[in-house]
Amino acid sequence: MTIFGSTLTMNHPVNAETMRSLSTVPVEDLSSALFPEWRIRFVESSSSVEGLQMAPTFNHRSVQLAEVLDLFSPVPAGVIVDCTLGGAGHAVALLEARPDLSVVGLDRDPVALAAATKRLQPFGSRAVVISTRFDALADVVEAGLAGRGPWPKNSEGEPLLVVGILFDLGVSSPQLDDPERGFSYRADAPLDMRMDQREGQTASELVNSIDLDALTDLLRENGEDRLARRIAKAIVAARPIATTGELAEIVAGAVPAAVRRRGHPAKRTFQALRIAVNAELDQLSLGLDAALEVLVPGGRCVVLSYHSGEDRLVKRAFQVAMTGGCTCPAQLPCVCGATPVVAKLHGGSLGATDEEIAVNPRAESVRLRAVVKLEEGQSA
Ligand SMILES: C[S@@+](CC[C@H](N)C(=O)[O-])C[C@H]1O[C@@H](n2cnc3c(N)ncnc32)[C@H](O)[C@@H]1O
């Protein structure tokens, strides 16, 4: 876990070369590794840094911003942990809407962290940015509340409690749009797809080593692709595969012409591999468990999913927490002693409005679910 001070400003355009060099760097050294030959300083204003270049630009339009603000508006004063900080769009809106809230923002992507750190600088100690995966959420909160890490504090110097948790899952627009990151089937680049290029297997390493059955399952489960077997066979036959362009072409060649006419044929394959490379579903399970644990009563957890596998997982985790894991038959009163931990804040899941989708096509697949943590003994 690497912690960036809330006023840390980084002034280096993070390019592909820098990103590649990160893969050999221990996480603890991230801040100096990110900008080895540049300055990283705690500064009053970014313009005071000699040799200033622009921090990475991060053009990402936050999804369901109004709904997120609305859902968090009743929470008491305290900390919102934004588990998927990205460009800090949701975080900035929350800090602006509620002066009594602070934000602890987590992300595993150094480019997002650099952009978010710069964007959050005006909020001073109300914003803390931490480089970590959100499966470390419980540790981050424990360290913060115990005074072992930077954490927003009240005027008496006491750590503020967690009153909200936000997950805005998946990848950001800059991750998708930068061909060098290897997420996009629209450009040719090394087949990488790691949100954090310092760790783990690349998509290329994965497709070149996985066996046919496992690849078929992966494409079926993460990509919900009815042509999974056919595509998997084509991939295995064409190995080794090094670039996004090669993979996109192999998938396009494996699907019938009628399917090719319904949008890019490689979309689902790329999504499935990305989810696997970044262990996104495992991360989500662990993150959700921790989130429901660390929230104070009255605190809220809001999750935006963009994939039915993610949404199913969120629905199930919330359902278990809403019943306290009750195993009694549905129509009978509970006799197993389970106690609900949360209550849902609306029926089903919320999609984006047509107006939002018109200006932000990324919002089309979103499903929002939200719960509030109950007092001990309080009924749902
Ligand atoms: C959709 S973007 C968030 C955008 C943000 N809400 C905004 O308004 O700018 C998702 C972000 O979550 C990060 N992310 C995804 N999975 C993560 C994980 N397991 N741990 C930490 N960060 C993660 C990605 O790197 C990406 O920056």
Q: How many CB atoms lie within 10 A of CB 255?
A: 19
Q: How many CB atoms lie within 10 A of CB 138?
A: 16
Identify the pLDDT of residue 191: 97
Residues 6+ apart with CB under 8 A from 30: 2, 22, 110, 131, 198
Identify the pLDDT of residue 261: 67
> Which tokens belong to 84?
């998927």
| Vertex 161: Cα angle to 155 and 162 (nearest 5) | 135
φ, ψ of residue 35 to 5 degrees: the values are -130, 65
Identify the pLDDT of residue 2: 46
Interior/surface letters 338-353, b for 16+ CB within 10 angstroms, e for the rest: eebbbebbeeebbebe
Cis bond before residue 74 (omega within 30° of 0): no
The atom of ligand 1 lying closest to the CA of 107 is 22
Identify the pLDDT of residue 325: 86
Contact 152, 80 (CB under 8 A): no
Q: Is the CB of 87 under 6 A from ligand 1?
A: yes
| Vertex 307: Cα angle to 301 and 313 (nearest 5) | 50
Identify the pLDDT of residue 328: 87
Full set of structural domains in the chain with CATH: 2-31+57-173+280-373 (3.40.50.150), 198-277 (1.10.150.170)
Prediction pTM value: 0.86
β-strand partners of 78? 101
> Which tokens belong to 273?
């591999």
Give CA separation, 31 vs 16, 153, 261, in Å: 17, 24, 45
Ligand 1 mean position to 183 CA, how many Å? 14
Ligand 1 mean position to 195 CA, how many Å? 9
As averages over each run of 10 residues, the pLDDT of the chain (380 residues) reads: 40 39 36 32 29 58 97 98 96 97 93 88 91 91 87 94 98 89 93 92 98 96 88 97 97 84 85 96 97 97 96 96 88 86 94 97 96 84
Ligand 1 mean position to 59 CA, how many Å? 13
Q: How many CB atoms lie within 10 A of CB 261?
A: 8
How far is C-alpha 235 from the chain's CA centre? 28
Ligand 1 mean position to 36 CA, how many Å? 25
Nearest CA to ligand 1 atom 25: 109
Identify the pLDDT of residue 329: 87
Report the distance separating Cα 184 and Cα 175, nearest Å. Answer: 9
Report the distance separating Cα 190 and Cα 186, nearest Å. Answer: 13
Identify the pLDDT of residue 40: 25
Give CA separation, 370 vs 288, 312, 322, 343, 373, in Å: 12, 14, 11, 9, 10
Report the distance separating Cα 345 and Cα 68, nearest Å. Answer: 12
Could you tell me the sign of the dihedral formed by the alpha carbons of 189, 194, 198, 201, in that order?
negative
Task: Classify 151 in phi/psi space as left (phi over 0), alpha (psi -120 to 50) or beta.
Answer: beta
Identify the pLDDT of residue 56: 62
Ligand 1 mean position to 239 CA, how many Å? 31
Nearest CA to ligand 1 atom 4: 86
